[in-house]
């Protein structure tokens, strides 16, 4: 049984945080497009970022800030323009954005982290952002998580938020998070945009290590379309306002906190995969019997990201050969005579040999998942066992539908 419970509140569930989201005119639609997450006190800050060579200005800005200073008070996020591949002026816009918010909050500019999402090659609409900052700060409240979550989305169909609570040293400790992402999802670091808040007291190096490990088990294990974003950013703040003793090294309390952090990241990551552009269902791939956990995660992600597997699931075709082929090309050695593949309750292959199964019933299982409750029962489960290894890992993706092509063919037109 988990050592935590789900609670409402998103990023404002932990003590000492406020949030806001407003429509500043950055999006042509007039939808909310500017978000703020604010800690009442200076918080330990950690981040994981995209590894692509074409990066948004906000990514380089945050990386630079966290290299020099491992604390922050606020995160500012704009939606509508990615401010990626925008040259020196894009960098200047990112710097000015942080400075504008810092001035409005009366905090040092170094205490502000920034994030952007939207169309690559487009600068932030600075005139609208300058006018929106005072309104954004005025809107900040201890129940503003929902508004912030709504202000960071682009092609997302739903907002994504979670908060969990556990007990450390007899006192409640909470972690909350919001994220966005629907397309251009194949992170090689973290996710499109995800922001996590925590009210525990954690040392700088430990918080960064926990976040990096959590990302490897969550955001780095999702895929929608195989494309890595220029703006992928995961930021996490820990402000110590739970008044629990500081965690400075691994031990029982640290492990408990990291487990909850990982669960928050997994919940958010799965929400992104479930909301993939044009998707009708979530795909969860569970791999066991691998040489180690990293190998298992690699195979799981390869299967979840296979266009052939994704297309078969959209077509409600239980074509297990595509699953086997994807596992085989993942770059992890294994004995194919030990391969076992299961789709839901249907055992399709065992000891490397195909089995007879009810194809019509398996297809109906896929149809049922597509017709399921968007938030609860729309999962297609693929279980792959490779043999006697101790490694295990999961990955999440979605099916590939006609609508994915339509959405992205018309993205800027």
CA 12 – CA 405 distance, rounded (Å): 36
Buried b (16+ CB within 10 A) or exposed e, 41-77: ebbbbbbbbbebeebbbbbebbbebbeeebbbbbbbb
- Catalytic residue flag (residue 117): no
CA 186 – CA 206 distance, rounded (Å): 26
DSSP for residue 267: H
Inter-CA distances, 110 with 27, 83, 102, 203, 240, Å: 27, 20, 8, 19, 20
Cβ atoms within 10 Å, residue 227: 13
Task: Give the residue carrying structure tokens 């406020």.
Answer: 18
Catalytic-role residue among 191, 223, 262, 302: 191
CB-CB contact of 148 with 137 (8 Å): no
Beta strand ranges found along 91-180 (DSSP E):
112-119, 160-168, 171-180
CB-CB contact of 14 with 199 (8 Å): yes
Buried b (16+ CB within 10 A) or exposed e, 293-327: bebbbbbbbbbbbbeebbebbbebebbbebbbebb
Q: How big is the chain by its Cα radius of gyration, in Å?
A: 21
Which residues participate in catalysis according to the annotation? 191
């Amino acid at each position: 049984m988990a050592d935590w419970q789900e609670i409402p509140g998103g990023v404002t569930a932990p003590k000492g945080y406020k949030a806001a989201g407003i429509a500043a005119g950055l999006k042509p639609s007039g939808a909310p497009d500017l978000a703020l997450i604010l800690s009442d006190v200076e918080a330990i800050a950690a981040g994981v970022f995209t590894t692509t060579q074409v990066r948004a200005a906000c990514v380089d800005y945050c990386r630079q800030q966290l290299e020099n200073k491992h604390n922050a008070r606020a995160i500012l996020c704009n939606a509508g323009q990615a401010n990626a591949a925008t040259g020196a002026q894009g960098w200047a816009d990112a710097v000015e954005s942080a400075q504008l918010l810092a001035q409005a909050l009366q905090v040092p500019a170094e205490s502000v982290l920034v994030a952007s999402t939207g169309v690559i090659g487009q600068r932030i609409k600075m005139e609208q952002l300058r006018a929106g900052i005072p309104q954004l700060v005025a809107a900040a409240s201890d129940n503003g998580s929902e508004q912030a979550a709504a202000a960071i989305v682009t092609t997302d169909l739903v907002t994504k938020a979670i908060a969990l609570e556990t007990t450390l040293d007899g006192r409640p400790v909470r972690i909350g998070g919001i994220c966005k992402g629907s397309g251009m999802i194949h992170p090689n670091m973290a996710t499109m945009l995800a922001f996590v808040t925590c009210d525990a007291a954690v040392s700088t190096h430990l918080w960064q290590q926990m976040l990096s490990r959590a990302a490897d088990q969550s955001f780095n294990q999702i895929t929608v379309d195989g494309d890595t974003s220029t703006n992928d950013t995961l930021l996490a703040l820990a402000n110590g306002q739970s008044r629990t003793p500081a965690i400075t090294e691994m031990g029982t309390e640290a492990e408990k906190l990291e487990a909850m952090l990982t669960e928050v990241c997994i919940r958010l990551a799965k929400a992104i995969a479930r909301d993939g552009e044009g998707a009708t269902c979530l795909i969860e791939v569970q791999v066991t019997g691998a040489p180690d956990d990293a190998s298992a995660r690699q195979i799981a992600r390869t299967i979840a990201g296979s266009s052939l597997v994704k297309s078969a699931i959209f077509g409600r075709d239980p074509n297990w050969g595509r699953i086997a082929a994807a596992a085989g090309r993942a770059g992890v050695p294994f004995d194919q005579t030990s391969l076992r593949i299961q789709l839901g309750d249907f055992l399709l292959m065992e000891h490397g040999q195909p089995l007879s199964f009810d194809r019509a019933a398996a297809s109906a299982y896929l149809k049922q998942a597509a017709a399921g409750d968007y938030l609860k029962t729309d999962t297609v489960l693929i279980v792959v066992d490779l043999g006697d290894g101790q490694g295990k890992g999961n990955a999440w993706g979605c099916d590939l539908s006609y609508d994915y092509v339509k959405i992205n063919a018309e993205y800027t037109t």
